Amino acid sequence: MRVLSFNFDKVSIERFSSSLEDIKISNKIDIKEIVEAQADFLNTEDKVLGVRFTFSLEYSPNIAKIEISGMTALAVPTSTLKEVLEKWEKKEISPEFKTPLFNFLFRKVGLRALELEEEFGLPSHIPFPTFKKTEDSK
């Protein structure tokens, strides 16, 4: 699977409360559509899949919500294209396709979400490494 393009269609953030007490952050990726796309510029026998997605972060209880939607185009072998489209007819995605796709999407939208969190004073949805003083530290 090669990424050919990646675009945002919608980036939305709403903050409902200034309180950050007892905050719980949940995230979700929804795949809205998987279709075969045309790409005459490919010089290989790979085919192109278009994947439409929505990523959302909910800050509970009723503190904020981030929603990012977009589309990515992926070059895949013909056999993968057929398998993915057959499964998608039943709204299923095989783990072999879903794992690298979700990892890619989380990286791309996660970075944009971090920017929004910083701008709106929300805690990060990704834990950052922290340093702790040890007894041998000077």
Q: Per residue in 46-98, pLDDT tens? A: 889 999 999 999 999 999 999 999 999 999 998 999 999 999 999 999 999 99
Give the model's confidence band at 30: pLDDT under 50 very low, under 70 low, under 90 confident, else very high: very high
Residue 123 located in a structural domain: no
pLDDT at residue 137 greater than cutoff 80: no
Residue 129 lies in a domain: no
Reference 105, options 42, 61, 53; nearest CA is 53
Please enumerate in sequence order all residues whose Cβ is within 8 A of that of 81, keeping only pairs 6 or more positions apart, or say none. 36, 47, 49
Structural domain contains residue 135: no
The answer as to whether 54 is a domain residue is yes
Q: Which domain holds residue 72?
A: 2-118
Q: What are phi and psi of 31, to 5 degrees?
A: -90, 120
1-25 per-position pLDDT tens digit: 889 999 999 999 999 998 888 899 9
Distance CA 33, CA 70 (A): 11
Q: What is the mean pLDDT of residues 122-136?
A: 85
Instruction: Report yes or no on 133 lying in a domain.
Output: no
Note the pLDDT of residue 43. 65
pLDDT band of residue 128 (cuts 50, 70, 90) is confident
**Residue 128 domain flag:** no
- C-alpha dist (Å) from residue 121 to 70, 85, 113, 129: 24, 41, 12, 19
Tell me the three-class secondary structure of the chain, residue by residue: CEEEEEEEEEEEEEECCCCCCCCEEEEEEEEEEEEEECCCCCCCCCEEEEEEEEEEEEEECCCEEEEEEEEEEEEECHHHHHHHHHHHCCCCCCHHHHHHHHHHHHHHHHHHHHHHHHHCCCCCCCCCCCCCCCCCCC
Whether 94 is covered by a domain: the verdict is yes
Name the domain count of the chain: 1
- Look at residue 38 and tell me whether its pLDDT is greater than 90: no
Residue 32 counted as domain residue: yes
Q: Tell me the CB-side half-sphere exposure of residue 47, using CA atoms within 13 A.
A: 15
pLDDT of residue 45: 79
